[in-house]
Structures are given as C-alpha cells and as structure tokens.
Amino acid sequence: MSVPSITWIAYMRAILALNYIKMRRTNLLLITILLLTISSCTKENPITVQNQNNQVVKQMSKAQIDMQIRAELNKKGYFNWNDASDIMLWSALQVNDNILTIGYGSEAYNKPGRSKSDYKTSVIDIVRKYEDLGRTTKNNNFVIDEGENLNFVDLKVKSVETIKQLRASDIVRYIEPAGYTYSSEQTTRSSSGCNKAGETVLATDHRLIEPNCFVSWAYDINRISDAWLLSTGQGVTVAVIDTGISEYQPLLGSLFNNGYSSGRTIEKYGTYTSSWNPWSTDYDGPNDKCSHGTSMSGNIASPRNNQGLPVGVAYNCNLVSYRGTSDVVLNGYQEQRGVAKALTEIANRSDIKIISMSIGHIINIGKISDAIKYAYSKGKLMFVAAGTSTQFTTWAGVTFPANMKETVAITGVTDGPGYQHGEVNHYGKEVDFTVIMERDSDKSRTSPTLGYYSNQRQYIGGSSISTSMVAGIAALVWERYPSYSRNQIISKLKLASDLYPNRDDNYGYGNIDAYKAVQ
C-alpha cells in the first residue's frame, strides 16, 4: 500500500490511533494529536539559497524546527524566537506564509511625547533594501499590520539576509515568524477547549440559594459564597479576552440584569478575523462559536436569579467580553493579532480594572507580550491561566503569557488533602495563586458553570476555570476597596492565601480564602 505523504512509522501510528479512537470513543483531542503526528512527519522539500556571501543556505524542515523548539522547552520550560538561529527563523518563515513580526525601539509601547515613526521607517527601509523591493514598492504590498500604540510591525520577508540585518540593528528588540504553529504529538498543549454540549450536574456538586440560584461546590470550599455577605462586585468592570459570548445564552445577554443582579452593564466586541488571508481585518463579530469564552464569562458574572442556573463569582460586576481568538490555543496569526488588539483596546479604557485570560500558548508571542506590557502600564490587573493540557504534557510548565512578570498566573488543585495536582493543570514557579476546583475522587467533576445554550450547565475545569474564579474574587475585593491600586489588591489576595508569606515552587501563595480577602 503506497503512503506517499508520510513515513511508514507515521502511517502505523495513525492506524493505531484510529483504532484507539474507535475503541474508546474518545474526544477530539486525540484526533488533533493524530493530525499533528501526520503533519509533523510529512515529507518536505527543503530549498537552498545563496546569501550575499555566496554561501549555500539550506532550509530546515518543519520537523527539525519543532525538534529544536522541543529541546528548548525541555531545557528552559519555555521557547522564545530570540534564541533561534537565523537559519531556523528563516526556515520557519518559509512554512508560515513569510510573515515576520518585528518589535522595534527600546520599549514595547509608544510612550506619550515620543514618535515611533522614525523607528518604523528605519525597519521598513532595512526590509526594502535586503528584500530588493526598491523605493517604488508601496508599503501596503508587504506591510501587513502594525500595532496601535505598540511598537511592532508585521512584514512579508523572504530573505535570510534580511533576518541577519534586522537582528544586527540596534533598534530591533525581537523578530519572530508570526503565527507559527508548533506541531508535536508529545507537547500538544490542549484540545481547543470547545464543548457546546450541556451536562447533568450531580446534586452533591451544587446547592440552591435564594432566589432559586445554583451555587458550585467550588464556590463554597473557596468561601466565595461567604464573601457575598460583604461584596458582589458592584461597580467593578472585568474584561474577558477569550472566544466571545454565545448569542444563545440570555443570562449573558438580555437577562444579564435579572433577580439580585441589577444596575450593571455588559459589552461584547470582536477582534478576531476568521480568514486565511493575513491582510484581512474583517472581524467576525463578538459571538462565541466555541463555548469556552461563554463559560469563563458566566463563571465571573452570570446573574443571581430564579432560573436555577449557575451564578457567577461577582454576580453584580460589569462585564466586557472580547472575542479575540477562535479557541484557547493562540497558535494562529489571526488569533495572536486579535488578542493583541483586544488587550490594546482594553488598556485604553480607564473603567476596566481586571482582565481575565484563560488562553495561551507554549511559545512566547512578541506582539501579545508588547500588548500586555502596555496594559500593565495602564494599571490593569491581569489574571492568566497557567496552562491546561493532557495529563501527559503538563511537564511543559507555566505557559505564555502566564509566565510574564506583568501577569498573575493562576492554576487549580483538587479538594484532596494538602495540595493535589489537578489532572490537566500546569504548575511551576511562575504560579501566583491557586483555587480548589476539582474533585480528588473523580477528576471529571470540576466546577459547574453556565453552558453555551439557554438553560444549560457544564462542568468546566483546568486552569481556565481557576483563572476566571480568581478574576471574580478580585472584583469582590475591589468593590470593598475601590480606591486601592492593582498592587494593593494583589496584596489583599496574598494575605488571604493559605501559604502566605511563603511561596511554593508549584502553587505560589496557594489557595485564596475569598471571604478573608474581602474583609
């Protein structure tokens, strides 16, 4: 039997994986792993070019690039394109539409009173020269995007010499192949995080409170329900950057103000472009097509009413939702651009205090890093998921952007004695706080929250639910202390944490007692 596009080993892996899928009727993650296995073993036809010194340069295969990324991940726990060789970076461009993100200037963002046009012009001039574009070539033929308020530009680059010259320039902070997709069977971070199906929640995993509202067991064990005696998040605005909010979930729409939840606002925006064309900015709207963003928004702000459905942690806070990505893994050009734009727009709003991001990537992304630094400069308190994946890949540690010092990294633990790892959560020295969100006796029973459709509930776990839970707790604290700065709110969370003043290498300051935090 002829298998022209993959090696015989990859073919046998595919057959075994398909049989396993059929036997266990397992989920889409295994199918994703199968496709990535085939993709990573695809035969490539490397090209060779001559550089300006007439040296022959041979393109690395995608499998070779991914192997080097894997080696860096094993060594350091993270990967940054600044650590890649010129040839590796150039080779990555060849399999990635030749889109190069160039961070320029001494700062991630443009400070007041400074012009970034000179730096940008100098970068474009380098590309013009070494791409042999000439002065008559219009910018819009090779300039794809530039960050509003941020010091980066996306350009079409094909020459290895251009990469060398950009790296030699003292005005270039970083260059990286935009939207490069790292394909590895062993290090797949997670499935897409999308699941629109509702679930039956066991009676032992919830209770009803007035006026017929559904409270998660995890809220009680983290003392969130006790904290409601003092605060419900009134007047605090939380932004969620995720996959958006479902148009079919009225509790995050027309019924947002309902029951005990009143006098608040909900806003929905979209910065994600569902298009293969990198030049396209035709945003496809704020509506969730995945379910993940709906769950995270519901966990933070779902109303307390008489519908018998799950309530949010800060059920009286204001909510701003951004559909910046199609799923939880930021491994595509349009996803990375959408999230960077969402962060920038939120940073420019003085009313938003908290940003919740239960999304990430195993590779550091320059433009998102720049946008986070910009949002941080505006005083935003950013909670980011430490990472969620299969139980075989949690070795990867805390993922980007939770590994940045400007963000607060969150993960979850079980209700077992001491601190027990959640089945699919990531841990590491960058973790700041934890919450209890998973039954130790049954890992499938996590914290129930609002579903994608009306009258629907779901169990949602991982560092995703943990992050949105802590974002909600922070909103409760900020209502109680409205004049506090970001650092003062973080200090309140630390003082209310189980391990403080010590810091654990896996769990940070540990579990937050929400009631203690709002006192």
pLDDT in tens, 432-445: 999 999 999 999 99
Q: Is the pLDDT of residue 133 over 80?
A: yes
pLDDT at 21 over 80: no
Mean pLDDT is lowest, of 21-25, 79-83, 486-490, for 21-25
Q: Where are the alpha helices (DSSP H) in 321-461?
A: 333-347, 366-377
Q: Output the six-digit token pair for 366.
A: 């320059």
**In this structure, what DSSP letter does residue 421 have?**
B
**pLDDT score recorded for residue 10:** 39
Evaluate if residue 390 carries a pLDDT over 70: no
Cis status of the peptide bond prior to 501, with omega within 30 of 0: yes
Which of 231-240, 279-288, 472-481 is least confident? 279-288
Tokens of 437: 């969100």
Specify the pLDDT at position 353: 97
Q: What does the pLDDT average to over 131-139?
A: 76
Residue 458's Cβ-side half-sphere holds a number of Cα atoms within 13 Å equal to 23
Average pLDDT of span 356-372:
96
pLDDT at 307 over 50: yes
Q: How far apart are CA 327 and CA 234, in angstroms?
A: 30
What does the pLDDT look like over 410-420, one tens digit per residue?
999 999 999 99
Strand partners, 375: none
pLDDT at res. 113:
59
| Whole-number pLDDT of residue 27 | 37
Measure the CA–CA gap between 387 and 70, rounded to whole angstroms: 17
What angle separates helix 462-480 from helix 486-495, to the nearest 10 degrees?
Answer: 110
Its pTM stands at 0.88
Give the closest residue to 355 by CA, choosing from 329, 382, 336. Answer: 382
Question: Does pLDDT of 503 surpass 50?
Answer: yes
- Domains plus CATH for the chain? 8-40 (no CATH), 48-177 (no CATH), 218-518 (3.40.50.200)
29 band by pLDDT with thresholds 50, 70 and 90: very low
- Contact between 388 and 190 under an 8 Å Cβ cutoff? The reply is yes
What pLDDT does residue 25 have?
35
Question: What local confidence, expressed as pLDDT, does residue 211 receive?
Answer: 97
- Structural tokens at position 20: 């396993």
Of 135-139, 370-374, 506-510, the poorest mean pLDDT is in 135-139
Q: Do 135 and 124 form a contact (C-beta atoms < 8 A)? A: no
- Percent of the chain that is helix, strand, coil (3-state, to 5): 35, 20, 45
Residue 156: enclosing H or E segment and its boundaries?
Answer: strand 152-156
d(CA 224, CA 469): 9
pLDDT of amino acid 32: 37
Confidence of residue 111 (pLDDT cuts 50, 70, 90): confident
What sign does the dihedral 475-476-477-479 (CA atoms) show? positive
- The pLDDT of residue 110 is 80
How would residue 39 be classed by pLDDT, with cut points 50, 70 and 90?
Answer: very low
Share of the chain above pLDDT 70, in %: 85
The one-letter amino acid code at 368 reads I
Residue 391 has pLDDT above 70, yes or no: no
Q: Is the pLDDT of residue 188 over 50?
A: no
The span from the CA of 415 to the CA of 436, in Å, is: 6
Residue among 94, 166, 95, 101 at smallest CA distance from 129: 166
Cα 270 to chain centroid, rounded: 16
pLDDT at residue 51 in the model:
52
3-class DSSP state for residue 511?
Answer: strand
